Amino acid sequence: MPTYKIAVLPGDGIGQEVTPEAVRVLQRVGKRAGVAFEFENALIGGSAIDATGQPLPPETLTLCRGADAILFGAVGGPKWDNLPQEQRAERGLLALRKELDLYANLRPAMCFPTLVDASPLKRSVVEGTDLMVIRELTGGLYFGEPRGRESFADGGERAVNTMVYTTREIERVARVGFEVARKRRRRLASVDKSNVLVVSQLWREVVTRLGKEYPDVALEHVLVDNCAMALVHKPTSFDTIVTENTFGDILSDEAAILAGSMGMLPSASLGPASANGRNVGLYEPVHGTAPDIAGKGMANPLAAILSAALLLRYSLNMSEAAGRIEAAVQRVLDQGRRTADIARGGDKVLGTREMGDHVVRELEV
Ligand code: IPM
Ligand code: MG
């Protein structure tokens, strides 16, 4: 029986609550698909700082390097917010992305038909939304040099971050964009700020050049401010979006509300394909640690569960099992099962564990 090693990094806040539900779901589908999963937990983020003093302990990195895939929860929280930038909980995640070269972050945002009314936007705007944001994840402002702060003698300060990209960095993530668009509706919007930034001018040139290799994909270039507006104005006009790190961070949060709740959205962060054709990948819900509801057992586990489906699809080539999880989630929603974030007046509100139970039960039928 094939055995896959999964590094499980629940992290902080509701990451601790939703990740075990994704693990249960994987155990369930694994049995049925005839594969075994070996799950090994490790510390990251604030909980790692508390236990070891570091947001990404070396043992965690070693475990991740040796694993077939990483199931990730979320990191950060008010407790660690006052630490210096380089020691914050979020650094654990950023360092892991960099160390494993997870350069392509796939964030699908679709409006689930049963949840249209959970979105704060009008039905006529969000209905039919089905898009994929591909965010460059290891370059740009997040990692560019120089960066830092310096003090002036007069007491003033200067702080700098650098948005920097090389041709190679742009090309490899743009290629993911074209390949993904090809498997979807063959439309790719490349988002930049080339009317102002030279780094965006290079971005646009490289994407345009690469586009010649993909004549079957309709490429358009969209300025980031315009894209932000169009996302809430006419989200159905988008299929696949590819953009740099910071723009992608912002636009993917914006896209998340199109789905009704952030509690529904999974993500995959992929690195270079290895010799066996599989991708090193990290899979995490988009929602973050949600300190306001952490510890209450009320978080929506569906984003984590759907992230487990992406793990099967992208890292283990188990598309059929991935589809079974997605179908089970769909059925649970169709049955009207709701956690607080997607409930409406009169709905019975389920907790994290109960919602997980329903998905696991649906996987048995
Ligand atoms: C995300 C988050 C992270 C980011 C934080 C937690 C560092 O906002 O994954 O979108 O900015 O990339
Ligand atoms: Mg973000």
| 260 Cβ inside 6 Å of ligand 1 | no
Q: What letter represents residue 1's amino acid? A: M
Query: Which residues are marked as active site?
Result: 142, 193, 225, 249, 253
Instruction: Name the closest-CA residue to atom 5, ligand 1.
Output: 90
Question: Across the strands, what pairs with 113?
Answer: none
| 136 Cβ inside 6 Å of ligand 1 | no
Q: What is the mean pLDDT of residues 14-35?
A: 96
| C-alpha–C-alpha distance, residues 356 and 347, integer Å | 17
Is-above-0.75 flag for pTM? Answer: yes
- How far is the centre of ligand 1, averaged over its atoms, from the C-alpha of 46 (Å)? 14
pLDDT value at 117 more than 90: no
| 93 Cβ inside 6 Å of ligand 1 | yes
Contacts made by residues 320-327, CB under 8 angstroms, sequence distance 24+:
320/33, 321/29, 321/30, 321/32, 321/33, 324/29, 324/32, 324/363, 325/25, 325/29, 325/359, 325/363
Which ligand gives the minimal distance to the CA of 94? 1
| 12 Cβ inside 6 Å of ligand 1 | no
pLDDT per residue as tens digits for the range 188-200? 999 999 999 999 9
User: Which regions of the chain does DSSP assign to beta strands (E)?
Assistant: 3-11, 36-41, 69-74, 104-110, 130-136, 148-151, 157-160, 187-192, 218-223, 240-243, 266-273, 279-285, 338-339, 349-350
pLDDT value at 275 more than 70: no
Percent with pLDDT over 90 in the chain: 88
Q: What is the mean pLDDT of residues 81-97?
A: 93
- How far is the centre of ligand 1, averaged over its atoms, from the C-alpha of 215 (Å)? 33
Pairing of strands 240-243, 266-273: unpaired
Q: What is the mean pLDDT of residues 328-337?
A: 96
- How far is the centre of ligand 1, averaged over its atoms, from the C-alpha of 249 (Å)? 7
Question: Across the strands, what pairs with 133?
Answer: 107, 241
Q: What letter represents residue 47's amino acid? A: S
Provide CB contacts within 8 A for 239, sequence distance 6+. Answer: 130, 131, 132, 181, 184, 185, 186, 187, 188, 189
Q: Is 155 helix (H, G, I), strand (E, B) or coil?
A: coil
Count of alpha carbons within 13 Å of 79, Cβ hemisphere only?
A: 16
pLDDT value at 279 more than 70: no
Element (H, E) at 168: helix 167-183
Provide CB contacts within 8 A for 241, sequence distance 6+. Answer: 131, 132, 133, 134, 177, 188, 189, 190, 191, 227, 251
| C-alpha–C-alpha distance, residues 39 and 280, integer Å | 16
| C-alpha–C-alpha distance, residues 193 and 209, integer Å | 18
pLDDT per residue as tens digits for the range 214-232? 999 999 999 999 999 999 9
Q: What is the pLDDT of residue 113?
A: 87
| 90 Cβ inside 6 Å of ligand 1 | yes
Q: What is the pLDDT of residue 280?
A: 74
Least confident of 46-55, 169-178, 198-207, 262-271: 262-271
Which ligand gives the minimal distance to the CA of 289? 1
Provide CB contacts within 8 A for 260, sequence distance 6+. Answer: 111, 112, 115, 116, 117, 118, 119, 126, 342
Least confident of 278-287, 303-312, 334-343: 278-287
| Cβ 364 vs Cβ 140: under 8 Å | no
